[in-house]
Structure 1
Amino acid sequence: MKPFSQACANNQDPILQVLQRVFADRRNVLEVGSGTGQHAVYFAHNLPHLQWYTSDLPANHPGINLWIDEHPRENLHRPRLLDVFDPHWPLSGMDAVFTANTFHIMPWEAVTAFFTGVVGVLETGLLAVYGPFNYEGDYTSESNARFDTWLKAQAQHQAIRDFEKVDALARSVDFTLVEDNPMPANNRLLVWRRG
């Protein structure tokens, strides 16, 4: 059965509005953690100038492929195996990387590994990260505080990440923050540039 995320359906339009602008001059995008595949299908359809490359751990590939089977496009590519801890990611020469709702699910060590791995994929270009973030150690809303409690109850390694710590990781591999976009449901869409 094809997987479905209501959160993806809710946030795809606000994310698209930003990506239409910041990815206007991009050509090849690697999506890290494509999840259900919904974002990939929606963004590939609405950003036809982009080649959209999906990736995830093997368990999510069947669901992503079901979405692609139902909405095939020449600019939408089948999922590649990508484990952020693997030092050799499956693609290179991208000019953009996108990930949504991954940093608060992954262990912090995986977030650190993400920034090590992304360098091999994106020598120059843009990194766009969507999700909830804390600022100066504080939640941005009561709903995010409740969400963080829920995350930690599901698995100890899950948590809303501190923007400053994530930005420090980005800066350590020569990314510069260029945009911090407020999004619905107390999320953010952060955009860094490298090179």
Structure 2
Amino acid sequence: MTSGPWTPGDGGNEDKRHAPATLRNRDAIAAVLADWLPATGKILEIASGSGEHIVHFAAVFPQLGWQPSDPDPAGLTSIAAYRAEAGRANIMPPLALDASASEWPIDRADAILCINMVHISPWEATLGLFAGAAALLAPDAPLILYGPYREPDVPTAESNLAFDASLRGRNPAWGLRDTKDVKAAATNAGFAFAERRAMPANNLMLLFRRT
């Protein structure tokens, strides 16, 4: 499993990936983060992907330090390219970090953010996310998830059902998770569920706090 520091060059436009959903959801996510993030400190983003989200959030919340991470070398290169382009001192170099790894290459964070990973990874990555977060976060510190989920007693949107089928067709270990299972995993790792926010396009933001 990939784990360790990443020291890429500055990168360039040819290295940047683009996730179209980022432009559509980043402002809605930031509005919730304004309520849930601490006033100061280091925010670790797990599975930063292209790097577009973290660059945007670093501009919206300049008082916070932002630590991107991803297990994919191409993703890390993209993050580095966006970081170089943004030129913001509050974005740290990306870390090679696999959420399912038993050890993470970082020893502390004041909050952890994970966007659109839980459904596009094996369940072991979600279990690892909670275990790793529990080792880093102080009591009451937030772990924030964003993405599509299934909810008990809430009808799943047809678009999410189709997306779930598509994901499982690509990889049987992927797919939309039930919030009941996510909350149970959180409890087992030492987190308490704190809040749910409905988001555009049938997504959710889930807030957990370290107990």
TM-score under structure 1 length normalisation? 0.95
Asked if structure 2 preserves the Cα contact closer than 8 Å seen for 1:26 and 1:96, the reply is no
- Measured in 2, the distance between the counterparts of 1:165 and 1:137 equals 14
Asked if structure 1 preserves the Cα contact closer than 8 Å seen for 2:67 and 2:94, the reply is yes
Q: Which runs of 5+ in 2 are unaligned?
A: 1-13
- Measured in 2, the distance between the counterparts of 1:137 and 1:4 equals 35
The CA deviation string for residues 148-175 of structure 1, in whole angstroms up to 9 with x for no partner, is: 0111112111100000000001111221
State the 1:20 CA deviation: 1.1
- Measured in 1, the distance between the counterparts of 2:126 and 2:193 equals 17
1:192 aligned onto 2:208? yes
1:59 aligned onto 2:74? yes
1:40 aligned onto 2:69? no
RMSD of the TM alignment (CA)? 1.4
- Measured in 2, the distance between the counterparts of 1:185 and 1:111 equals 22
**Structure 1 residue ranges, 4+ long, deviating more than 2 angstroms after superposition:** 137-140
1:134 aligned onto 2:150? yes
- Determine which of 114, 119, 137 is the counterpart of 2:129: 114
The answer for the alignment partner of 1:3 in structure 2 is 17
The answer for the alignment partner of 1:85 in structure 2 is 100
Q: 1:157 to 1:139 in 2, by over 3 A?
A: farther
The CA deviation string for residues 51-90 of structure 1, in whole angstroms up to 9 with x for no partner, is: 0000011331111111111112111111111012322211
- Determine which of 171, 186, 194 is the counterpart of 1:170: 186
Asked if structure 1 preserves the Cα contact closer than 8 Å seen for 2:100 and 2:126, the reply is no
The CA deviation string for residues 132-190 of structure 1, in whole angstroms up to 9 with x for no partner, is: 01012865211100110111112111100000000001111221111100000000010
The answer for the alignment partner of 1:182 in structure 2 is 198
Asked if structure 2 preserves the Cα contact closer than 8 Å seen for 1:54 and 1:79, the reply is yes
Asked if structure 2 preserves the Cα contact closer than 8 Å seen for 1:127 and 1:193, the reply is yes
Q: 1:54 to 1:21 in 2, by over 3 A?
A: same
The answer for the alignment partner of 1:73 in structure 2 is 88
The answer for the alignment partner of 1:144 in structure 2 is 160
State the 1:26 CA deviation: 4.2
The answer for the alignment partner of 1:159 in structure 2 is 175
Q: How many residues align?
A: 195
The answer for the alignment partner of 1:17 in structure 2 is 31
Three-state SS of the structure 2 residue aligned to 1:78 is: coil
- Measured in 2, the distance between the counterparts of 1:90 and 1:178 equals 27
Sequence identity (%): 36
Asked if structure 1 preserves the Cα contact closer than 8 Å seen for 2:134 and 2:191, the reply is no
State the 1:24 CA deviation: 4.2
- Measured in 2, the distance between the counterparts of 1:79 and 1:24 equals 21
Q: Which runs of 5+ in 1 are unaligned?
A: none
- Measured in 1, the distance between the counterparts of 2:198 and 2:20 equals 20
TM-score under structure 2 length normalisation? 0.88
